[in-house]
A and B are shown apart, each in its own frame.
Chain A
């Protein structure tokens, strides 16, 4: 069974602050993929990143960066210099890599991020 835990239910920051959203996962699969999605107030799920379990390199995309640590089963997401438009619910998700199970995402409970002006 797979499990994704996002222990931070809500985070509130002031614009320009850096913020890190935590994600810890459990899986028995040897290969898997991790995802982050953003859900703005309008409700859609916006793809942010997909990471293969073999690839532990950190990734940076503009103000976003991700820290994947297989040893601690964590895939944390940092927003640098946060902006009001970053206010959303952020979901971490996990899927097995193999066979027909790919795409069967297990989501965390989500972290509500509010960025105040």
Chain B
């Protein structure tokens, strides 16, 4: 069964360092997302991406964050200068079309746990 894959599964970094989290969405999907989950809290939307552009972003997704689809398969989330409060599980998700609309099922990867020290 196709799946969304994420790397690394866990990254530990020092405050102020740059971090890149990588995702390989399901191959025929066109819409990509990043979410995060701070430990013990609910999952929060960060950004959605389609056709090499950000579609929507939340208030959390400030100038420290950026996303990119550098090639035909990867989708990355970059945090430019990490803060302690960026420690969380980051989930990538992708969805395809349904009946020609962008309303396909949304599948998540296994997550990348980021720990900022």
**Which A residues are within 8 Å of any B CB, using their own CB?**
33, 35, 37, 42-47, 50, 52, 91, 93, 95, 97, 100-110
The answer to whether B42 and A103 have CB atoms under 8 Å apart is: no
Contact indicator per residue, chain B 38-56, by CB within 8 Å of chain A (1) or not (0)? 0001111100101000011
Least CB separation from A6: chain B residue: B42
Is B33's beta carbon under 8 Å from chain A? Answer: yes
Known: A33-B103, A100-B55, A103-B48. A43 touches B42 (CB 8 A): no
* B5, chain A: closest CB distance, angstroms: 11
Main secondary structure, interface of B, reads strand
Task: State the CA gap A42–B10 with chains docked (Å).
Answer: 13
The answer to whether A105 and B106 have CB atoms under 8 Å apart is: yes
A-B contact count (CB 8 A): 64
Task: State the CA gap A28–B89 with chains docked (Å).
Answer: 30
Is B35's beta carbon under 8 Å from chain A? Answer: yes
Can you name 15 A-B pairs with beta carbons within 8 Å?
A35-B106, A37-B108, A42-B110, A45-B91, A45-B93, A45-B108, A47-B108, A52-B103, A91-B42, A95-B106, A102-B102, A103-B33, A103-B55, A105-B43, A107-B44
Task: State the CA gap A43–B105 with chains docked (Å).
Answer: 20
Q: Contacting A101 at CB < 8 Å: which of B35, B56, B91, B108?
A: B56
Least CB separation from A42: chain B residue: B110
Q: Which residues of A contact B103 (CB under 8 A)?
A: 33, 52, 97, 102
The answer to whether A50 and B106 have CB atoms under 8 Å apart is: yes
The answer to whether B111 and A43 have CB atoms under 8 Å apart is: yes
The answer to whether B106 and A103 have CB atoms under 8 Å apart is: yes
Task: State the CA gap A97–B58 with chains docked (Å).
Answer: 17
Q: Which residues of B contact A45 (CB under 8 A)?
A: 43, 91, 93, 108, 111
Is B87's beta carbon under 8 Å from chain A? Answer: no
